[in-house]
Each structure stands twice: as C-alpha cells, then as structure tokens.
C-alpha cells in the first residue's frame, strides 16, 4: 500500500470529523437565540494520472454552509420589550444614540431589547434600536427626514 492510498483515507476521516463538528455545534446551540444552523457540503476532489505515478487517488473536501436566510422559530418570552419579525426584514441598530440618520447602521434579527436609563431600547450588545416613520404615501424609508 502506498502513501497516496493513505492520504485518500485520511481525507475521508478529516471530512467525517468536520461533519461531526458541524452537527455538534448545531446541537449545542439549539436554544441560542438567533443561531442559524450549518450544514456540511461534501465534494470529491478528482485527480489526474501523472507521468510519475500510475495511480493517483482522489480525495474529498467539506464546505460549511450556514443557513442565514431561514426563518427561526418564534417563541413567547417573559419580556414585554421582546419583538420578532416574521418573514423578511431586520432590526436596524447602531452603537450611537443620535438623531442623525447617517452613520454606521447594523442589522439583526435578534429582537431581545431592554430599556436604558433614558428609556431608549437597546439590545444585549448595547446597540440602540432605530426606526423611521412611514407616511401615507409610503415614501422611501432609506431617505428619512428624521429618526424616531
């Protein structure tokens, strides 16, 4: 048996271990708010015969695919400030609490909010929740005149 044959077997063992790691991470985070499960996608690596070796074994590789576009389960909580989005959409948050609508906004699906000392909603990362009014004409919310 050649070393090349062993490398093919080691490749199979490595991707099997990666798959177990991905499944274990999914199980460990089953109750983590906002966690999106991952999947393993396997692909065969095909090699070609070369002049120096008559036999060239193939190998396999694994890619981790994270399902960030799937709707999570909505569950009732004990807080009156927790909210959820069913379907498309994100909560807009920012680290600064200013009325300026231009800045470094971030987007999250985690709807666990608490009030700070001024009564402003913040998430667990300390980011402030932002929102804009929608008028009767349903104008562009990406260009608001003021923030609320």
Global confidence as pTM: 0.50
pLDDT in tens, 27-55: 998 887 677 788 888 887 766 666 665 66
Q: Return mean pLDDT, the chain.
A: 78
Q: pLDDT class for 87, splitting at 50, 70, 90? A: confident
d(CA 66, CA 15): 17
In terms of pLDDT, which residue wins out, 69 or 104? Answer: 104
Can you read off the two tokens belonging to residue 20?
Answer: 């177990």
Residue labelled with tokens 């193939």: 58
Q: Is the dihedral of CA 120, 121, 123, 124 positive or negative?
A: positive
């Amino acid at each position: 048996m050649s070393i090349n044959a062993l490398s093919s077997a080691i490749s199979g063992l490595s991707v099997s271990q990666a798959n177990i790691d991905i499944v274990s991470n999914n199980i460990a985070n089953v109750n983590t708010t906002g966690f999106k499960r991952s999947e393993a996608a396997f692909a065969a690596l095909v090699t070609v015969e070369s002049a120096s070796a008559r036999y060239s074994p193939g190998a396999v590789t694994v890619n981790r695919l994270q399902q960030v576009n799937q709707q999570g389960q909505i569950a009732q909580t004990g807080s009156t400030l927790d909210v959820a989005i069913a379907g498309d959409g994100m909560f807009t948050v920012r680290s600064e609490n200013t009325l300026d609508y231009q800045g470094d906004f971030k987007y999250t699906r985690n709807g666990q909010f608490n009030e700070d000392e001024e009564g402003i909603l913040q998430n667990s990362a300390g980011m402030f929740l932002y929102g804009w009014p929608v008028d009767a004409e349903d104008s562009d919310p990406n260009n608001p005149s003021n923030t609320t």
